[in-house]
Structure 1
Amino acid sequence: MSTQPYPAFFSCYNQLDTPFLFVDKQKFINNLTRLRHSVESFGTELRPHFKTVKSLHALPYLLPDKTAPITVSTVKEAELLASEGYSNIIYAVGICENKLPRLRDLIGRGIAVRVLLDSKEQARFLTRFCLLNQCTISALIEIDCDGHRGGLTPDSPDLIEIAQLLHQGTVELEGVLAHAGESYHCYDPVSLRRAADNEVRTTLDAAQRIRSAGISCNMVSIGSTPTAHSYHNLNGITEVRAGAYCFFDLVMAGTGSCKIDDIAASIVTTVIGHNTERGWLLIDAGWMALSADRGTAHQPKDCGFGLVTLSNGELVEHLQVTSVNQEHGIITAMNGCSINFDAFPIGCRLHILPNHACATASMHQHYHVFDTQAQSYDIWTRIQGW
Structure 2
Amino acid sequence: MTLATLDTPAALIDQARMERNIARMQQRMNALGVNLRPHVKTAKCIEVARAQTAAGASGITVSTLKEAEEFFRAGYTDILYAVGMAPSKLMRALALRSQGCALKLVVDNADAAHAVAQFEHAHKAGFEVLIEVDTDGHRAGIRPQQDALLAVGRLLHEHGVKLAGVMTHAGASYELHSPEALAAMAEQERAGCVLAAQRLRAAGLPCGIVSVGSTPTALAARKLDGVTEVRAGVYVFFDLVMHNVGACALDEIALSVLATVIGHQQEKGWVLVDAGWMAMSRDRGTAGQQHDYGYGLPCTLDGTPLDGWIMSGANQEHGILSRAPGAAAPAEAEDLRARFPIGTRLRILPNHACATGAQFPEYFAVSETGATAAWKRFYGW
TM-score for the superposition, normalised by structure 2: 0.96
- Name the CA distance, whole Å, in 1 between partners of 2:280 and 2:372: 22
**3-state SS of paired residue (2:288):** coil
Alignment of 1:213-362 (within 5 A): 213-334=203-324, 335-336=326-327, 337=329, 340-341=335-336, 342-362=338-358
Match of 1:383, as an amino acid?
Answer: F
Equivalent position amino acid for 2:88 in 1? N
Aligned length: 375
Contact 2:36 2:57 in 1 (8 A): no
Q: Select 1:383's aligned residue among 362, 378, 381.
A: 378
| Superimposed CA distance per residue, residues 165-219 of structure 1 (whole angstroms, 9 cap, x where no aligned partner) | 0110121111100000000001110111111010001111111111111111110
- The one-letter code matched in structure 2 to 1:348 is T
Summarize the alignment of residues 34-49 of structure 1 with structure 2, pairs less than 5 Å apart: 34-49=24-39
SS in 1 for 2:195: helix
Output the CA distance in 2 between the equivalents of 1:84 and 1:369: 19
Which residue of 7, 18, 24 maps to 1:17? 7
* Residue 180 of structure 1, aligned match among 170, 180, 190: 170
- Amino acid aligned to 1:372: E
* Contact 1:67–1:86 under 8 Å retained in 2: no
Distance, in Å, in 2 between the alignment partners of 1:202 and 1:328 is 46
Q: 1:66·1:86 contact (CA, 8 Å) conserved in 2?
A: no
Which residues of 2 match residues 87-98 of structure 1 at below 5 A? Answer: 87-98=77-88
Given the alignment, which residue of 368, 372, 377 partners 1:372? 368
Aligned identity (percent) is: 42
Q: Which amino acid in structure 1 is aligned with residue 201 of structure 2?
A: R
Q: Where do 5+ consecutive residues of structure 2 fail to align?
A: none
Q: What displacement does 1:66 show?
A: 10
- 8 A contact 1:66–1:85 mirrored in 2: no
Q: Distance in 2 between matches of 1:78 and 1:65?
A: 21
For residues 383 and 326 of structure 1, the distance between their equivalents in structure 2, rounded to whole angstroms, comes to 22
Deviation readout 1:330-380 (Å, 9 max, x if unpaired): 11102252555121111101111000000000000010111015x542100
Letter in 1 for 2:33: G
Match of residue 5 from structure 1: none
1:167 corresponds to which residue? 157
For 1:26-105, list aligned pairs within 5 A: 26-64=16-54, 68-105=58-95
Residue in structure 2 matched with residue 7 of structure 1 by the alignment: none
State the SS of the aligned residue for 2:259.
strand
More deviation, 283-292/57-66: 57-66
SS at match of 2:263: strand
Distance 2:242 2:175 in 1: 10
2:173–2:185 Cα contact (<8 Å) kept: yes
Q: Secondary structure at the match of 1:63?
A: helix
Deviation at 1:155, TM superposition (A): 1.1
Once residues 58 and 213 of structure 2 are traced to their aligned partners in structure 1, the CA distance between those partners, rounded to angstroms, is 17
Native 8 Å contact 1:269 1:350 kept in 2 = yes
- Looking at structure 1, the residues matched to 243 and 2 of structure 2 have their Cα atoms a distance apart, in angstroms, of 30
CA distance in structure 2 between the partners assigned to 1:304 and 1:67 by the alignment? 34
State the distance in 2 between where 1:67 and 1:322 align: 38
Partner of 1:134: 124
- SS of 2:306's equivalent in the other structure is strand
- 1:180–1:223 contact (8 Å) kept in structure 2: yes
CA distance in 2, matches of 1:128, 1:384: 31
1:64 CA displacement: 3.1
Kindly provide the amino acid, as one letter, of the partner of residue 145 in structure 2. D
Q: Distance in 2 between matches of 1:309 and 1:294?
A: 18
TM-score (norm 1): 0.95
Q: Which residue of 1 aligns with 2:96?
A: 106
Q: What is the rounded CA distance, in whole Å, between the counterparts of 2:252 and 2:8 in structure 1?
A: 23
Structure 1 gap segments, 5+ residues each: 1-10
Report the alpha carbon displacement of residue 87 of structure 1 after superposing the two structures with TM. Answer: 1.0
Question: Are 2:37 and 2:57, in contact at CA under 8 Å, matched by a contact in 1?
Answer: no
* Aligned-residue offset at 1:68: 2.8
Amino acid at match of 1:128: Q
Tell whether the 8 Å contact from 2:266 to 2:335 is kept in structure 1 after alignment: no
Q: Which residue of 2 aligns with 1:6?
A: none
Query: SS at the partner of 1:277?
Result: helix
